Amino acid sequence: MLDYSGLRSYGYSEWFEHYVENRKQVLAVDFSQEGTLTESEKALLYPSIADFQRGEASEGKHLLAASKRFARTAGQPAYADTIKLFIEEENQHSAYLKEFMQFHGMQLKKNSVLDGVFRLVRKGKGIHPEVAVLVSAEIIAICYYAALRNASSSPSFEIYLREDSA
């Protein structure tokens, strides 16, 4: 049986404060200690990093619209503001990945099949599918970034990964 006693739930206003605090900590990563990735390392990293970079760059228009509707009907005004900050934080993660990719000469993807699938599944179906897909993506990201952290010797990447999986 699982023990939930150490867990606490956060209200929407607490999540809002969480994202407000996080946005005060934008990283300026120093690439001076960054080594060179081999072509095989780049080939291994590229498909997934490029997908994450693309996915986290989403403007989240549908999510934002759904969150505003939910905020109104549920009488939870902080909800939409919190989702807006969440989207902006994900965009910052995308910017970190972009910086890393560009430093290593990796081309950014304009489109991602995976991102397209995520969009298709959640688009226009209301807040619950939007959030379910996002939570799924975040769970995948936790595992993905942990695997990358174990596999990477890049100092700048280590900093990004700490930020993105926090």
Cβ proximity to Fe ion: between 56 and 81 the closer is: 56
> d(Cα 3, Cα 138) in Å, to the nearest integer?
22
Nearest-CB residue for Fe ion: 93
Cβ proximity to Fe ion: between 20 and 43 the closer is: 20
Q: How near is the Cβ of 164 to Fe ion at its closest, in Å?
A: 5
Q: How near is the Cβ of 85 to Fe ion at its closest, in Å?
A: 13
DSSP states along 72-138 = HHHT-HHHHHHHHHHHHHHHHHHHHHHHHHHHTTPPPPS--HHHHHHHHHHTTS-HHHHHHHHHHHH
Site for Fe ion in 7-46 (CB under 5 A): none
Q: CB-hemisphere CA count at 13 Å for 138?
A: 13
Cβ proximity to Fe ion: between 76 and 95 the closer is: 95
The binder of Fe ion chosen from 62, 93, 98, 109 (CB under 5 A): 93
The contact set with Fe ion (CB under 5 A) reads 56, 90, 93, 164
